[in-house]
Structure 1
């Protein structure tokens, strides 16, 4: 198979879909790999690093899209990239279609087959290709939140860990999954007073058993959430419904009851955000204010630590990418139902139910798509 990796063009996206080592693994199995020049520069990989692994470096994305059987990326294809996709071409990347009707329409129009990292599953009910970036984003959230909390950035001017005689920041993390757990660990490590809210009693028991004393847990009822949000210096939104639009857990009306200069960090912004007032921002202009509350809603947070993120993502995607290349997408998905769960689009049809419900589009099952 001819595997293509274009340079990411989303603003301030420095990750790359293939590491040189991943390219070398594919080449060693008899596949051809083409990479756009400088695709890995933001993650510290040179064109010569790819050439040393047997990949061919091309000058333009147009050449990559025109020649490749499979396109491997990090972020969802941008409008100009979607125009270059074609029928019978495989796209393997993050998609986050539920809050993005324009992208969904373009992918359906292209006729391509698109497998989304964020909906591939595993035997434990996890999301193995989302988990590494959730870990990174979770660990970054208190860091960027602490920066936003500084007075010069519009925040309350509260230090996360306080100092002797002055109490620490009060941090509420909504969601006790991968993102929330990592966010809570880092925020607590910075000295903040942290509470994690979740609706799963087994999950809260697990967090108490493993992290008891490091941070507190609470049940994520509407009333309890509203009460704790009003007391918080920082709220980290870390709620995920796989493939679906994120639920809105903090309304605009609640902002008036929060402390002036408090910070909302929305890690769920890729799926539309879990605060009513959230809108996607970029690393170049990451924060904005609504009703006196500062919002940090960068849609590609892990791109800020591109080298760590690229390597972590590559470690997770490599086995799936090789299976798709070795067997073709149909056989690979027939043999691995977890990879089949990643199928979102095929030949002009939507194949992921949660996206169909979010956008009001008819859906066929992935098993039906295999027969088309």
Structure 2
């Protein structure tokens, strides 16, 4: 029996990505799938409806038509107006970040949706569907942080003759943190990398990604943050709520006009004073510190991000269509049969971590 795949347009504020580009759709249709693309779904990323038609897709006029497919693929977690499309038997594949989304979790459970999350797919190399967006978010963090710092205390990351460069502290040297550190170093900032993994710190220092390293502890983080111009939070626990690494007291001790960028905000944030913001209203002040906590940072680079995400997602989507129980999809299933089935997500929600 032919499986239908629905590609829906994103509705989150400022989100211009699309989960599949036309070349991915062509692969899926050649494999026997019927792909229903909501009209205009790819326009924000530079892909028009004609591109999808040439790839073998059926372009449908309304969101409801695409949501009626057997499998729905999208980028960001469904927004409340989209919950009306939930139904028993629907298989959903997207970024969900349910540890920070208790209301969405309940909606998925109540409707009987089988919900698979990009961010909890894992393989021997790590998190293959999170990594490409983490790379883009990390690169963007340096750019957004530099821009916010100009509006804050007016410090240029690279300094100038006779003026020292800005001090940047990056918390967590995974994919996002490493790219943020590289970006800040590329602008000649002084960059301190903080992590619990000493080998990761050694590797980053040897590669020149950072100018210094620090083993993470509450006291060491407090000292580093107090002297920073820009703090980038990139601490992650797959599927779970992000750990709080920077407390409100630490933020209050920072100099007025300094900046924090929390890349873990999708998972609740690793900076205690962080709260979700949007592309239309990206920053706010707390204790005199400018906060940038946009929950879909890569969405402002939709062409690059869509192509990178599509390339990563397509092989797993083909597996999902062929056999949802395939072991290569292990860890992707978050909600099934009305229950939260991913252990880390279930633990985070049970402990109240999803209330952030």
What corresponds to 1:57 in structure 2?
Answer: 59
Taking the TM superposition and a 5 Å limit, the aligned residue runs for 1:246-257 are: 246-257=242-253
1:197 aligns with 2:194: yes
CA RMSD of aligned residues (A): 1.1
2:332 aligns with one of 329, 342, 346 = 342
What corresponds to 1:138 in structure 2?
Answer: 138
1:271-310 deviation digits (Å, cap 9, x = unpaired): 0011111110001110000110000000000001011000
What corresponds to 2:22 in structure 1?
Answer: 20
1:234 aligns with 2:236: no
Taking the TM superposition and a 5 Å limit, the aligned residue runs for 1:73-152 are: 73-124=74-125, 126-150=126-150
Deviation at 1:328, TM superposition (A): 3.1
Q: Measure, in 1, the Cα distance between the counterparts of 2:86 and 2:130.
A: 24
- TM-score, normalised by the number of residues in structure 2: 0.96
Deviation at 1:324, TM superposition (A): 1.5
Does the aligned pair in 2 maintain the 1:83–1:110 contact within 8 Å? no
2:42 aligns with one of 40, 43, 55 = 40
- TM-score, normalised by the number of residues in structure 1: 0.92
2:178 aligns with one of 181, 184, 197 = 181
* Unmatched 5+ stretches in structure 2: 352-356
Deviation at 1:208, TM superposition (A): 2.4
Deviation at 1:216, TM superposition (A): 1.5
Secondary structure at the aligned position of 1:149 is classed as helix
Does the aligned pair in 2 maintain the 1:173–1:194 contact within 8 Å? yes
What corresponds to 1:317 in structure 2?
Answer: 313
Deviation at 1:99, TM superposition (A): 1.1
Deviation at 1:101, TM superposition (A): 0.5
Does the aligned pair in 2 maintain the 1:176–1:238 contact within 8 Å? yes
Does the aligned pair in 1 maintain the 2:25–2:52 contact within 8 Å? yes
1:358 aligns with 2:354: no
Q: Measure, in 1, the Cα distance between the counterparts of 2:79 and 2:323.
A: 25
Secondary structure at the aligned position of 1:173 is classed as strand
Alignment: residue pair count: 349
Secondary structure at the aligned position of 2:127 is classed as coil
Does the aligned pair in 1 maintain the 2:251–2:273 contact within 8 Å? no
Does the aligned pair in 2 maintain the 1:15–1:42 contact within 8 Å? yes
1:329 aligns with one of 317, 324, 330 = 324
Could you list the runs of 4 or more consecutive aligned residues of structure 1 that deviate by over 2 angstroms after TM superposition?
208-212
Deviation at 1:357, TM superposition (A): 1.2
Taking the TM superposition and a 5 Å limit, the aligned residue runs for 1:258-337 are: 258-325=254-321, 327-330=322-325, 333=326, 335-336=327-328
Secondary structure at the aligned position of 2:193 is classed as strand
* Unmatched 5+ stretches in structure 1: 362-372
1:207 aligns with one of 204, 207, 214 = 204
